[in-house]
Structure 1
Amino acid sequence: MGTPPAPEPVEGTSPPATLRRSQRNRRRLPRRAAIGRRSFVATLRALEELADAGAQVSVHVTDLDSGAEVPVGDDHVTMPIAGLGVVPLLIEVAAAFESGALDPLEIVDRSTTDLVTSAGVWRNLRAPALPLVDLAVLAATAGDPMAVNALLARVGDDRVNERLDSLGLAQTALLDRFRDERGPDDAPHLAVGTTRELAGLFSSLVNSAAVDVAVSAQVSEWLNLNHDLSLVAASTGLDPFAHDQDAHGLLFINKTGRERGVRAEAGVLAGPRSGIAYAMIVCFDDLSITHRLRAHDAFRVLGLELMEYAH
C-alpha cells in the first residue's frame, strides 16, 4: 500500500486555513514517520478537499511510543462529537463502580428512562430492565441511546464534566442526553470536544492513566467490544463483532459519534511496528448521500494510513 506524493503548491495561492497548522506540523515530522507511506499525505489531502467544499475538519494523531504528533490540523477547535461523548460517561461510571458509589448489578427499569425511538438496541429487547453494568456494555458497543440516558440519569452530567476537568480536558463536555428531537431550549449537541483532547484521552486509557489502572482497563475493555467499525476502522479488516483477540496482533479500541452533519471518531490502533492514538471530526452539510460518503471516505483514508503506520 502507498500514498501519492503531496501536490506542489500553486504559485500565489495558500493552503486552506483549516489545515495550515496541519501542514506546518507535517513538515516537522520525525524522519521515520515522514518518509514514504507513513506521511499521512492522503489523509491531509482528503481533509483539504472537504474543507474546500465547506466542511469543518479536525484531526490529531499521536505516536504512542515517542509522543510525537504525526498529522494534526485544527486540533484545538471545539466541535460537536455526538456519541463520542459517551466515553467520559463510561469513565465516570467505571470509577463509580470501582469506588462503590454505584452497584454494577443495580437494576434499571426501561420505563423510567428517557425514551429514544430513533435508534438503539435496548428498546427492541424483551427484557424491561437491565443492570447498570449491562447498560454500560450497550452504551460502549452500540452507542445505545436509552442505555446512555439511563447511565447519565444515574450519575449526572455534572459529575461527568467534573471528571473531565480532573482529567485535564477543558474543552470537552457532555452537554445533554440523547433526544429524538432537539428543541430551542435544549443543548444543540449531545457533546463537544477537540481532537487533541480526545486522542489524548484514548492514549490515557491504554496507558492506564485515565483515573487509575482499574478504571482504564474497564473502559478499554468495554470500548474494545464496539461494533461500529464503519469509519476509520473500515480499513482494518477487523470483525466488528469479535475483534478483541485479533489473529494478526492488532490492538484496537474506538468510539464513533454520529448525528446529522457530524461524524467523529477517536481510538487507539497498535500493530507490530507502532501504536497510534487518533481522533478526527468532520462537520459537513448533509445535503445528499454523496456529501455523506465523501466525509466517510476521509475517515477510511485515515484508517488506511494508520494501518500502514502501525505495520
Structure 2
Amino acid sequence: MARAIEEAFRAAGVTGHLHAADIDTGREIGVGADEPVVLASVYKVPLLVAFFRLAARGALDPTTQVTLRPDERTEGGTGLTVMLDDVTMSLRDLACLMITVSDNAAADAVYARVGRDEINAALHALGLRRVHVVGDGQDLFDALLADSGTAGLGELWQRLDEPGMLDRLGSLDPSRTSYGTPRELTRLLAMIWRDEAAPAAECALMRRMLGLQVWPHRLSSGFPHDDVQVSGKTGTLLTLRNEIGVVEYPDGGRYSVAVFTRASETVAVQPRADAVIGTTARLAVEFLRA
C-alpha cells in the first residue's frame, strides 16, 4: 500500500508525505511520515488548540469582541480580508473563520491574543516536539516578499519560475518556517478527537469547527459518501498543497490523516495535486480498515 501511495504522488507530479492512523487502535501507515514538512495554513490547528487551552484555564475570554478595520487585515482570498467595512466579532468566531474558510485576517487576530510561545508550549505539553510555529500569516507573507525581492504576491507568482527563486524562499523550507511531521500532526488530531488536547467541551468545539471546513477538493474528495464525515484543515502556499483531517465512518471507525505535497510545476492551479490528497488518504484509510 505504501508503494501504491508513492506511485499516486508520482503520477500527480508531486512529492508527498503521508501518515494515517486508526484513532482507537493505533494501527498506522506512513510514507515519509517522520520527515519535516511546511505547515502553511495547517499551523492554524496548533493555534486553535492553544486558544482553547487558554480559554479553558480562564486566561482568555473567547467571547471578547474584536473590531478589525480593512487596513488592519492580513492578505488572503477569503473571509474578512475581502470585506470592505469594519467587522466586529468574538475571538471564538474569528477562530471559527480561520478554520472553516482559512481566513488569514481572522487567524492573525487570534494569534495576536495567543502568541507564538503559548502555541509551542501547548504543543510541548502534549508531547509534540516535532511541530513548531514561528509566526502568523503576516510574518509568512513578509518573509516571502523579503526573500524573493518582490513587491507583492502577484509579482512573486510571475517570477516564481526564475532560476533559484524557489530555493531562496524560506517559507517553503521546513527548517526556516513553521513545520511539523505528518505523524505528529495525526497525533494532534487524535488528541482532539479523544478529548486529550484540551478539556472535553473545548475539544468538542474544535471538532465542530474542523467539521465545518468548506473545501471539498482535497481530503474530502477521497470520501464522496453521505454517511462518511470528513473534518479537516487545508494548507496552501505557492507549490505546496496540504491537508490534515479526520475521517469518520458510520460503523464508528475514525482515522486521522495528514497529507503534504509539493508540486513540480510553478503554477497556481494544481488540480492533480489537490486530488491526490484525497486519493492517497482513501488508499491509507482503506488499508487501515482492511
TMscore range, shorter length: 0.7 to 0.9
CA distance in 2, matches of 1:72, 1:140: 25
> What is the aligned partner in structure 2 of residue 74 from structure 1?
32
Matched, 1:210 2:193: no
Deviation at 1:284, TM superposition (A): 2.4
> What is the aligned partner in structure 2 of residue 229 from structure 1?
216
CA distance in 2, matches of 1:307, 1:199: 13
Deviation at 1:49, TM superposition (A): 4.3
> What is the aligned partner in structure 2 of residue 61 from structure 1?
20
Deviation at 1:112, TM superposition (A): 9.2
CA distance in 2, matches of 1:214, 1:270: 20
Q: How many residues align?
A: 259
> What is the aligned partner in structure 2 of residue 106 from structure 1?
64
Matched, 1:47 2:9: yes
Instruction: Name the amino acid aligned to 1:219.
Output: M
Does the residue aligned with 2:63 lie in a helix, a strand or coil?
coil
Deviation at 1:269, TM superposition (A): 0.6
CA distance in 1, matches of 2:59, 2:170: 28
Give runs of aligned pairs for residues 1-311 of structure 1, distance below 5 A. Answer: 39=1, 42-49=4-11, 55-69=14-28, 71-111=29-69, 114-125=72-83, 126-179=85-138, 180-181=141-142, 182-184=144-146, 188=171, 191-237=178-224, 248=227, 250-273=228-251, 274-288=253-267, 292-305=270-283, 308=286
Deviation at 1:80, TM superposition (A): 0.4
Q: Which has the higher contact order (CA 8 A, sep 6+)?
A: 2
Instruction: Name the amino acid aligned to 2:73.
Output: L
Deviation at 1:161, TM superposition (A): 0.9
Moved more, 155-164 or 204-213: 204-213
Instruction: Name the amino acid aligned to 1:253.
Output: S
CA distance in 2, matches of 1:269, 1:305: 12
CA distance in 2, matches of 1:76, 1:304: 20
Contact 2:255–2:285 (CA<8 Å) still a contact in 1?
Answer: no
Deviation at 1:142, TM superposition (A): 0.7
> What is the aligned partner in structure 2 of residue 14 from structure 1?
none
CA distance in 2, matches of 1:68, 1:113: 48
- Change beyond 3 A, Cα 1:101–1:65: closer
CA distance in 2, matches of 1:224, 1:178: 22
CA distance in 2, matches of 1:251, 1:148: 25
CA distance in 1, matches of 2:9, 2:113: 39
In the superposition, the TM-score normalised over structure 2's length comes to 0.80
Deviations 1:219-239 (A, max 9, x none): 11111111122102113236x
Contact 1:164–1:170 (CA<8 Å) still a contact in 2?
Answer: yes
In the superposition, the TM-score normalised over structure 1's length comes to 0.75
Instruction: Name the amino acid aligned to 2:36.
Output: T
Instruction: Name the amino acid aligned to 1:166.
Output: A
**Which has the larger share of helix?**
2
Instruction: Name the amino acid aligned to 1:95.
Output: R
Does the residue aligned with 2:53 lie in a helix, a strand or coil?
helix
CA distance in 1, matches of 2:15, 2:223: 25
CA distance in 2, matches of 1:293, 1:222: 25
Deviation at 1:79, TM superposition (A): 1.1
Deviation at 1:103, TM superposition (A): 1.4
State which structure, 1 or 2, has the greater radius of gyration over its C-alpha atoms.
1
- Change beyond 3 A, Cα 1:140–1:289: closer
Contact 2:20–2:186 (CA<8 Å) still a contact in 1?
Answer: yes
Contact 1:81–1:263 (CA<8 Å) still a contact in 2?
Answer: no
Does the residue aligned with 2:137 lie in a helix, a strand or coil?
coil
Once superposed, what is the RMSD of the aligned Cα atoms?
2.6
Deviations 1:56-84 (A, max 9, x none): 42111112232111x31111111102101
Deviation at 1:127, TM superposition (A): 4.7
Structure 1, unaligned runs of 5 or more: 1-38, 239-245
Does the residue aligned with 1:215 lie in a helix, a strand or coil?
helix
